[in-house]
Chain A
Amino acid sequence: MIIAIPIEKEQFDSTISTTFARSNYFAIVDKSNGKVQITENLFKDIQKGAGIKLFHWLIEKQNIDALLAFEMGYKMQQMATEASLQIIIINEHSKTLNQLLEYMNINPKTAFSS
């Protein structure tokens, strides 16, 4: 399972973004091999249709099958539901990427992939 996680900063101790589509960065986490890639959200400053462009990029270029968010807009959730993606809503956005990786039994020290 490949999960897209919206994060504030380009680092493992970053907190989760409160908005999904306008997040600064995404951590793309591959649960099957424990690899994590942090990538900039190239669509966050687009005025209209940022969510749709981001969604297609996540599906087609990053091959994700799950989205994690604190709060997800209805359009993003509709697209995710239609594409049969897994949606994970966490309870507090003060959690860091490191803490989420710990939940997934992924060691941040060996998780970096280029």
Chain B
Amino acid sequence: MPRPRQKSKIQSPPRAKAFMPVGYYKQQSDAIQLKIEEFEVFRLLDYEGLTQVEAAKIMQISRSGVARIYEKARFKLAKALTEAKKINIEGGENMFDNNWFECERCDSKFNSTDESKIGACPLCSSQNIHQINE
């Protein structure tokens, strides 16, 4: 039985839900499933340029957990790029750092600050908003 994993803390939801290859028209049978914590580790290490120790502190998991997730993320991304596979970014064992909402009118994402219940988008005031669940 696999040992229970600590849920990774995610700073904010990924901007895109999926990536599609261009110029490759074969019917896609299987997409790569990139977990949200795999995306987050890849982003923190290779976009923000943090060390594994720093990333571990932010995600509230062990350094070896970061290393393990990073290996998986890199292999999945290399496989997707090489084999021209669609990449879905979803699922995994994680929780967001904030309660995040998305506005369907202006497409912005925003957190809820603890004192107020969010009923409208802070940018465009639209009430057409929904909570983003991991």
Tell whether A pairs with B: yes
Task: Using CB atoms and an 8 Å cutoff, list the residues of chain A in contact with chain B.
Answer: 1, 3, 66, 68, 72-74, 77-78, 81, 84-92, 100, 103-105
Q: Would you give 17 A-B contacts (Cβ < 8 Å), ordered by A?
A: A3-B122, A68-B123, A72-B12, A77-B11, A77-B97, A78-B58, A86-B110, A88-B110, A88-B123, A89-B108, A89-B109, A90-B106, A91-B15, A100-B123, A103-B123, A104-B125, A105-B125
- CB-CB under 8 A from A100, the residues of chain B are 123
A8 to chain B, nearest CB (A): 19
Q: Does B44 contact A (CB under 8 A)?
A: yes
- CB-CB under 8 A from B125, the residues of chain A are 104-105
B20-28, B73-81, B111-119 - interface stretch:
B111-119
Chain A's closest residue to B112 (CB) is A86
- Alpha-carbon separation in the docked complex, A47 to B16 (Å): 32
- Chain B's interface size range is 20 to 34
Out of B44, B58, B108, which one reaches A88, CB within 8 Å? B108
Determine if A86 and B107 form an interchain contact, defined as CB atoms under 8 angstroms apart.
no
- Alpha-carbon separation in the docked complex, A33 to B97 (Å): 32
- Alpha-carbon separation in the docked complex, A86 to B106 (Å): 16
Chain A's closest residue to B16 (CB) is A91
Q: Does B48 contact A (CB under 8 A)?
A: yes
Determine if B98 and A84 form an interchain contact, defined as CB atoms under 8 angstroms apart.
no
A86 to chain B, nearest CB (A): 5
- CB-CB under 8 A from B113, the residues of chain A are 84-86
Determine if B124 and A104 form an interchain contact, defined as CB atoms under 8 angstroms apart.
yes
A5 to chain B, nearest CB (A): 10
A39 to chain B, nearest CB (A): 20
Contact with A along B30-50 (1 / 0, CB 8 A): 000000000000001000101
Determine if B111 and A87 form an interchain contact, defined as CB atoms under 8 angstroms apart.
yes
Determine if B108 and A1 form an interchain contact, defined as CB atoms under 8 angstroms apart.
no
- CB-CB under 8 A from A78, the residues of chain B are 58
Determine if B48 and A91 form an interchain contact, defined as CB atoms under 8 angstroms apart.
no
